[in-house]
Amino acid sequence: MINFAKKINMFSQGQLIFAALFVVVFIAVITFSYLKDKKIHAVFYKKSYIILLFFFLFIAILFAIKTFLKD
């Protein structure tokens, strides 16, 4: 008989602690870097949302072509 109630731990406690600390420190560093460069981004990337809009439009056009040319 197979015991399905047995719990198998994939990671050790040390690995889980390291992962949690890594995520917290990574998010803190990314946030600090963004806040530090916020003024520069406002100057050099004023209309960057337009590029994102064209990217999504391009993906939508590719999807439409694929859908309409399907056998």
Domain assignments of the chain as residue spans, ordered by start: 13-68
pLDDT at 7: 63
Cα distances (angstroms) measured from residue 19 to each of 9, 13, 30, 35 = 15, 10, 16, 24
Q: Which residues of 31-67 are buried (b: 16+ CB within 10 A; e: fewer)?
A: eeeeeeeeeeeeeeeeeeeeeeeeeeeeeeeeeeeee
Q: What is the pLDDT of residue 21?
A: 98
pLDDT for the residue numbered 25: 98
Q: How confident is the model at residue 2 (pLDDT cuts 50, 70, 90)?
A: low
pTM for this model (two decimals): 0.52
